[in-house]
Amino acid sequence: MRRRDRDAGSAIVEFYFLGIVLLVPLVYVMLTLLDVQRTAYGVTQAAREAGRLLAATGDEQAALAAAAVALDDQGVAAADVAVSFECSTDPCFAPGGEITVTVAATVQLPLLPDVLAGAVNAEIPVQGTHAAAVDRYRSGQ
């Protein structure tokens, strides 16, 4: 009977302790996955929009602006993203050619101090690619 009195109330403490120990890493993993998914949506949409606009108009600045709008829509900073264009034909905008747009970004692990970020590989690379056919009826060429 005496032993039972000593253990009274300790289950709730163990429950809270285990809950915190298991919940904190789970929340961190969820924050990281959501950040990576948000960036993946952003770079994929940016590559698609830039490729479509570049294939239709041939204007690289307009394509970069379209990519920036798509990235901003997902909350990704356009300054931290690399956009590259590659053509399958020479000249680049020959009718029937193909333009491949690649948008690459890196996602920093959330809530990581700068001291640790430099010491460990604390970033996840994310890349989106889109291939667009050049409009063979494009005017102005």
Residue 72 lies in a domain: yes
Least confident of 15-24, 42-51, 112-121: 112-121
Segments forming the whole domain that contains residue 101: 2-133
How many domains in the chain?
1
Whether residue 138 is contained in a domain is answered as no
Q: Is the pLDDT of residue 78 over 80?
A: yes
DSSP 72-105: HHTT--GGG-EEEEEESSSSTT-TT-EEEEEEEE
Select from 65, 131, 141, 72 the least CA-distant residue to 97: 131
Residue 139 resides in a domain: no
Residue that is written with structure tokens 């604390």 in the block: 122
The answer to the question of residue 141 being in a domain is no
Burial class (CB in 10 A: 0-12, 13-18, 19+), 38: middle
Asked if residue 106 is part of any domain, the answer here is: yes
140 inside domain: no
Q: Please write the tens of the pLDDT for every residue from 29-69.
A: 999 999 999 999 999 999 999 999 998 888 999 999 999 99
pLDDT at 3: 58
Helices 60-73, 10-57: axis angle to 10 degrees equals 160
